[in-house]
Structure 1
Amino acid sequence: MDDENLEKIKEEKLKKLKSQMEQEGDEEKRREQLEQQKKQLLRQILTSDARSRLSNLRMAKPDFTENIELQLIQIARSGRIDLPITDEKLRKILKKLQQDKKSINIKRK
């Protein structure tokens, strides 16, 4: 009886682990889809120079850049800014967002 109970418990735990792994896989797929949608939207609303600036900023400050990207998408969707967002417009937006924080000087060669 003990061996049978042990086997049942093992099987139940294995089933739980499999379902948990499937759920984690689904979440990962959703995250990837959302990331792809975000990238596509940013390609539509930013010029290539602005995207380049944002990707450079992402290397230095990934969390800050994530927030900026979401804010840019919201600004574009609400129609509060003319599209596409150029590098010059992006620099102005970054300066406005950084006024309360430590100053960042962004120079482009």
Structure 2
Amino acid sequence: MADADLEEIRKARLQQLQQQSQSPSGGNASSSDQEASRQQREADQRASILQQILTPDAADRLGRIRLVKESRATDVENRLIMLARTNQLRAKVTEDQLKDLLGAVAEQQEKEESRIVVNRRGGGGWDDDDELEDLLKDV
């Protein structure tokens, strides 16, 4: 990633922090208008960062993924933005690199979804082994 790209990311982040620190005075705009404005600024900043760190093919693929599964696209975007903010990206992310990242996100989500929690009850009640022995005696 070029120094100019990093500088633009830093400027966008600084602007975001400055806007958050300023409190509205007078307050002609309603809180819902302020919330919508804040969300729009965040979306614009995310789009700007993604435009800087993705090749056009990778950005196109991410857009198609968003159409199919928005949560997965958001997870990938969050990871990419985190990598950019921590200066771990050395060049623009290609479509192949994006595919690899998508695979990693999919694996992580599958692991989280496939966890099964078994709660065993202790103490009295019945024992499977005893019932199995009773069934075998009847045979």
* Aligned mate of 2:99, from 60, 66, 91: 91
Pairwise mapping of residues 1-109 of structure 1 onto structure 2 (< 5 A)?
Answer: 22-101=30-109
Is the CA contact 1:76–1:83 (under 8 Å) kept in the aligned structure 2?
Answer: no
Which shifted more, 33-42 or 65-74?
Answer: 65-74
Provide TM-score, normalisation by structure 2: 0.55
For 1:92 and 1:64, how far apart are their aligned partners in 2?
13
CA distance in 1, matches of 2:46, 2:89: 18
Q: What is the RMSD of the two structures over their aligned residues, measured on CA atoms?
A: 1.6
**Partner Cα separation in structure 2 for residue 45 and residue 28 of structure 1:** 26
Distance 1:40 1:24 in 2: 24
Is the helix fraction higher in 1 or 2?
A: 1
CA 1:100 to 1:73, structure 2 compared with 1: closer, same or farther past 3 Å? closer
Aligned length: 83
Alignment check: 8 A CA contact 2:76 2:101 kept: no
Aligned residue for 1:99, secondary structure, equals helix
Which secondary structure does the structure 1 equivalent of 2:92 belong to? coil
Matched-pair identity in %: 27
The AA in structure 1 aligned to 2:81 is I
Query: So what's the TM-score if we normalise by structure 1?
Result: 0.69
User: What are the superposed Cα offsets for residues 13-70 of structure 1, whole Å, 9 maximum, x if unpaired?
Assistant: xxxxxx8x71100000000010000000000000000000000000000122112111
Structure 2, unpaired ranges of 5+: 1-26, 111-139
